[in-house]
């Protein structure tokens, strides 16, 4: 994280630099201990210390959003921690790296390149991604036009063959986390090098997790770095459509020719051709011809090659010969990173809109399905706020997104409830199932039964069975008991409420 600091250390004031660096390391260690790993990673992971002077510490952060949050919540703490290292420090100045960069690159690119460096993205993709997007766009085709770089054989124009690229789907705008780092690294590698390192690159993962985004990003990047290379991106569906059309017009030779002269072929959502035999056959020929000529092929699908039912065995196994990179469902940290990037983008273009961090944290907790829904949720909240002219708040977000939140509700299991409740009351998990009747274990057990009834769809007998084979009448009794106790005992009601919220909120983070 301190690459620049370290470089400077070689040339001037090495000892002093070194000292500063270890001071900063100590401050960060303390912050991490105070804030916890997850919060620390969300906000401090990619904060650089630029220097100290005139009683000021200067920090650089990736986004405006992170700057606002740090300024609002952490400056006092930062000053205090620095003073412990260096009593002359009175103030912390926080700069946004991208603003500095964007100003240099021209105002037009600012809103897009801000997204470049949410914590992990910047860490994983250091300088190349800093190039202004406008340079990519400069030699890109008209927005919305068909896409294939360079001439692609006679007769058929790029508009017929390729599919348009989304200008937002760039590496700069792709936030990297644990779940997608392999796919991202492979995509970058393919985009940046002219050598064919792995062929094909096979990207797979559930819907809305960024496969199409990565493929477009590869196309944009190649176009920027190697504009002479011919890149063709299309969906498997479009491939089939083109093929059928060629058959109808008895033009299959030309069809084949066009594909076989590209340097990089990307076919998105290849699961689409399952069960479609002649399309598969043609696809396979094209695929083999390109691979034999050492042209890069990149494929995406919603499942792994071996799970592609309805696709011939020889094709499936051939698809898995190169590098197979899967994109896992997002984790909380990545969801928050993505939301921060998008929020930053909105706030830097949207005038007065302010999106409180608590709302982003709430969304990252609760919208767990996929990135598309996550983005959609944020957009909806923002659109609503600007329509009715109200500031964005947690309450409003909950209100606007009620349906989405419901469909994202976690399925809580009885085992989870038992574990949580046992932890909360500091009893052994085994006591949930045991026959012990002492109040200290019987009450928590009843609460766990009560929550099982409320939070799962299990029937009373099923719940009874999970609690050491108890009768369903015992469960009914527990539910009634807790219901009535909650009415008279505010403390107990609070406990039950807290447990419910913990269970609904998700596993580890709370």
Interface with Mg ion (CB under 5 A) = 211-212
Among 375, 462, 504, 509, binds ligand ADP (CB under 6 A): 375
Contacts of 510 (CB under 8 A, 6+ apart): 502
213 binds ligand ADP (CB under 6 A): yes
**Closest to 415 in 3D by CA, of 451, 371, 365:** 451
For ligand ADP, the binding residue among 81, 301, 363, 371 (CB under 6 A) is 371
Report phi then psi at 209, rounded to 5. Answer: -105, 5
Please, what is the minimum distance in Å from the beta carbon of residue 169 to ligand ADP?
A: 6
**Min. distance of Cβ 163 from Mg ion in angstroms?**
11
The closest of 477, 502, 457 to 494, measured between CA atoms, is: 502
> Rule CB under 6 A: is residue 211 a binding residue for ligand ADP?
yes
Longest dimension (CA), the chain: 85
Question: Among residues 159 and 331, whose Cβ is nearest to ligand ADP?
Answer: 331
CA distances from 403 to 361, 387, 399 (A): 18, 19, 9
> Smaller CB distance to Mg ion: residue 231 or 463?
231
Report helix, strand or coil for 467: coil
Rounded-to-integer distance, Cα 30 and Cα 193, Å: 41
- Select from ligand ADP, Mg ion, none the partner in contact with residue 371, using the beta carbon and a kind-dependent cut-off of 5 to 8 Å: ligand ADP
Report d(CA 36, CA 510) in Å as an integer: 11
Tokens of 104: 């240099």
Contact pick of 162, 208, 305, 464 for ligand ADP (by CB under 6 A): 208
- Dig out the tokens for 419 from the structure: 């574990």
Binding mask 152-191 for ligand ADP (x = CB under 6 A): -----------------x---xxx----x-----------
In terms of CB distance, is 269 or 344 closer to Mg ion? 269
Question: Binding residues for ligand ADP, how many (CB under 6 A)?
Answer: 17
Backbone angle region of 55, left / alpha / beta, with phi > 0 → left and psi within -120 to 50 → alpha: left
238 makes contact, choosing from ligand ADP, Mg ion, none, with CB < 5 to 8 Å by partner type, with none
**212 contributes a contact to ligand ADP by CB under 6 A:** yes
Structure tokens at 244: 């059928």
Residues in 306-345 at the binding interface with ligand ADP, rule: CB under 6 A = 338
Go through the chain and tell me how many residues it has. Answer: 510
Compute the least distance from the CB of residue 478 to ligand ADP, in Å: 44
- Binding to ligand ADP (CB under 6 A) within 408-437 occurs at none
The dihedrals phi and psi of 297, each to the nearest 5 degrees, come to -120, 135
- Helix, strand or coil, per DSSP, at residue 196: coil
Candidates 146, 162, 200, 210: give the one binding ligand ADP (CB under 6 A). Answer: 210
Q: Which does 132 bind (CB under 5 to 8 A by kind): Mg ion, ligand ADP, none?
A: none
- Which run of H or E residues covers position 223? helix 211-225
Name which position in 178, 285, 293, 372 contacts ligand ADP (CB under 6 A). 372
Helix (H, G, I), strand (E, B) or coil at 379: helix
Q: Which residues bind ligand ADP (CB under 6 A)?
A: 169, 173-175, 180, 205, 207-213, 338, 371-372, 375
């Amino acid at each position: 994280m301190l690459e620049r600091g370290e470089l400077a250390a070689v040339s001037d004031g090495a000892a002093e630099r070194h000292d500063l660096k270890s001071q900063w390391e100590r401050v960060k260690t303390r912050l991490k201990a105070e804030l916890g790993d997850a919060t620390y990673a969300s906000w401090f992971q990619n904060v650089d210390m630029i220097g100290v002077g005139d009683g000021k510490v200067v920090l650089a952060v990736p986004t405006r959003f992170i700057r606002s949050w740090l300024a609002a919540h952490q400056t006092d703490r930062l000053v205090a921690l620095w003073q412990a290292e260096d009593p002359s420090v009175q103030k912390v100045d926080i700069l946004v790296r991208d603003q500095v960069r964007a100003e240099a690159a021209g105002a037009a690119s600012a809103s897009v390149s801000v997204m470049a460096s949410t914590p992990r993205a910047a860490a994983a993709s250091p300088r190349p991604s800093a190039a202004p997007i406008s340079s990519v766009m400069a030699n890109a085709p008209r927005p919305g036009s068909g896409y294939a770089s360079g001439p692609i054989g006679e007769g058929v124009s790029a508009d017929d063959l390729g599919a348009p690229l989304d200008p937002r789907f760039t590496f700069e705008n792709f936030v990297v986390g644990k779940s997608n780092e392999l796919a991202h690294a492979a995509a970058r590698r393919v985009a940046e090098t002219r050598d064919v390192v792995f062929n094909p690159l096979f990207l797979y993962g559930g819907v809305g997790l960024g496969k199409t985004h990565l493929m477009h990003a590869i196309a944009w990047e190649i176009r920027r770095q190697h504009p002479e290379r011919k890149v063709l991106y299309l969906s498997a569906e479009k491939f089939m459509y083109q093929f059928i059309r060629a058959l109808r017009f008895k033009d299959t030779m030309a069809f084949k020719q066009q594909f076989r002269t590209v340097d990089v072929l990307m076919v998105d959502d290849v699961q689409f051709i399952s069960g479609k035999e002649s399309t598969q056959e043609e696809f396979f020929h094209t695929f083999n011809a390109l691979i034999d000529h050492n042209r890069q092929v990149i494929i995406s699908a919603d499942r792994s090659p071996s799970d592609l039912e309805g696709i011939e065995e020889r094709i499936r196994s051939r698809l898995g010969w190169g590098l197979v990179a899967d994109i896992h469902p997002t984790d909380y940290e990545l969801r928050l990173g993505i939301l921060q990037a998008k929020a930053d983008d909105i706030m830097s273009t949207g005038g007065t809109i302010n999106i409180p961090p608590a709302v982003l944290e709430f969304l990252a907790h609760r919208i767990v399905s996929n990135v598309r829904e996550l983005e959609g949720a944020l957009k909806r909240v923002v659109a609503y706020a600007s329509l009715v002219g109200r500031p964005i708040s947690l309450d409003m977000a909950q209100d606007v997104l009620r349906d989405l939140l419901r469909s994202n509700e976690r399925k809580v299991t009885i085992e989870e409830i038992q574990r949580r409740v046992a932890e909360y009351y500091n009893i052994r998990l085994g006591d949930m199932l045991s026959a012990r009747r002492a109040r200290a274990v019987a009450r928590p057990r009843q609460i766990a039964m009560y929550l099982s009834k409320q939070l799962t769809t299990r029937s009373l007998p099923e719940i009874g069975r999970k609690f050491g084979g108890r009768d369903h009448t015992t469960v009914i009794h527990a539910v009634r008991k807790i219901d009535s106790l909650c009415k008279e005992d505010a403390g107990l009601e609070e406990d039950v409420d807290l447990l419910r919220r913990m269970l609904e909120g998700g596993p580890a983070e709370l």
